């Protein structure tokens, strides 16, 4: 006894196979696209983490330099003659180029950026300090009571460079710090 009708078997031409292959192709394209997006998001997150580490390292160098200017003992040992990361900018000279690596002569203590004796970034952050020309404050409320001699403000520019987890990531920050002196 035959159950199948030969006429029905001849009409099937493999349409289910073609539909299944098209659906499989669509799913493959969607899977590949989502994998590519995930990889891109991981790279972006890694770059952000690297930039954040470099920014924090540069910030610690900047604060260390400002602390050196504020500390009278450390400040009095600074020569501001172009050696050891200290420079003096005069009316006839120019500022120090932050892109020149040899200008950075001062380092942040490595203990600031270590965890379990391991440095958290690719290199120790570095900085230099520029002593800018004195600024006289005349005709100001600050000049009252200075016995006919206007006070002078000493400005210092601290430039710091921090590195990220990758040595290719660098962040350069600058701040201007001033100290008050009546001379």
pLDDT per residue as tens digits for the range 77-123 = 888 988 889 999 988 888 889 988 888 988 888 887 887 788 889 99
Alpha-carbon 101 to chain mean position: 16
Q: Report the distance separating Cα 96 and Cα 104, nearest Å.
A: 10
CB atoms closer than 10 angstroms to residue 171: 21
State whether the Cα torsion 140-66-93-95 is positive or negative: negative
Higher pLDDT, 18 or 115: 18
State pTM to two decimals.
Answer: 0.75
pLDDT tier at 182, thresholds 50, 70, 90: very low
pLDDT tier at 8, thresholds 50, 70, 90: low
The values of phi and psi at residue 2, to 5°, are -100, 130
Which run of H or of E encompasses 6?
helix 6-11
């Amino acid at each position: 006894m035959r159950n199948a009708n030969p006429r029905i078997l001849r009409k099937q031409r493999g349409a289910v196979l073609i539909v299944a292959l098209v659906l499989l192709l669509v799913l493959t394209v969607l899977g590949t696209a989502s994998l590519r997006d995930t990889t891109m998001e991981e790279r972006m997150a890694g770059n952000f983490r690297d930039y954040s580490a470099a920014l924090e390292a540069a910030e610690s160098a900047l604060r260390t330099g400002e602390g050196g200017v504020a500390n009278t003992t450390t400040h009095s040992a600074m020569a501001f003659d172009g050696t050891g990361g200290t420079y003096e900018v005069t009316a006839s000279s120019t500022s120090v180029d932050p892109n020149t690596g040899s200008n950075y002569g001062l380092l942040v203590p490595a203990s600031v950026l270590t965890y379990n004796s391991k440095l958290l970034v690719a290199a120790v952050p570095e900085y230099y300090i520029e002593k800018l020309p004195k600024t006289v404050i005349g005709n100001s409320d600050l000049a009252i009571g200075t016995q006919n001699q206007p006070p002078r403000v000493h400005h210092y520019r601290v430039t710091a460079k921090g590195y990220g987890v990758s040595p290719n990531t660098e962040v350069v920050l600058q701040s201007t710090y001033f100290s008050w002196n009546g001379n």
